[in-house]
Amino acid sequence: VLYPLGRVSTVQEAQMLSASGREDAHNVTLVAVEGTSDELDVPIKLLFDDAAFRQEFDLGSLNSVNIVRLLVQAAHCFWAYLQLCPAADQEATFYLPTGAGG
């Protein structure tokens, strides 16, 4: 996981660090990098564009460039809506953070 050094909150960094230390996260490595998240997209895109590299290292992505992330977010919205309006007979407004919205 690449993340911009000094550009995430203390809470976000603590969450990532504690999650990466879990026994079931043995294949996760966190790397804080100088620059912005937009600047980090450049080398990431180059790696994912290299099919041989991607296959050799079994790379996957759940960043905004991946439709799975959007589908999971949509599922969360439906779940939250049904918790608020079980009969699905009212409107609800959701505000979603999109710091890496693409």
What is the pLDDT, as a whole number, of residue 90? 93
The Cβ of residue 40 has, within 10 Å, a number of other Cβ atoms equal to: 19
pLDDT of residue 7: 92
pLDDT digit string (tens) for the chain, length 102 residues: 889 999 999 998 888 888 877 887 777 888 999 999 889 989 989 999 999 999 998 887 766 566 777 788 889 999 999 999 999 999 998 887 666 555
- Of 69, 2, 10, give the one whose Cα is nearest residue 37: 2
In 21-88, which ranges are continuous DSSP H helix? Answer: 37-49, 51-56, 67-84
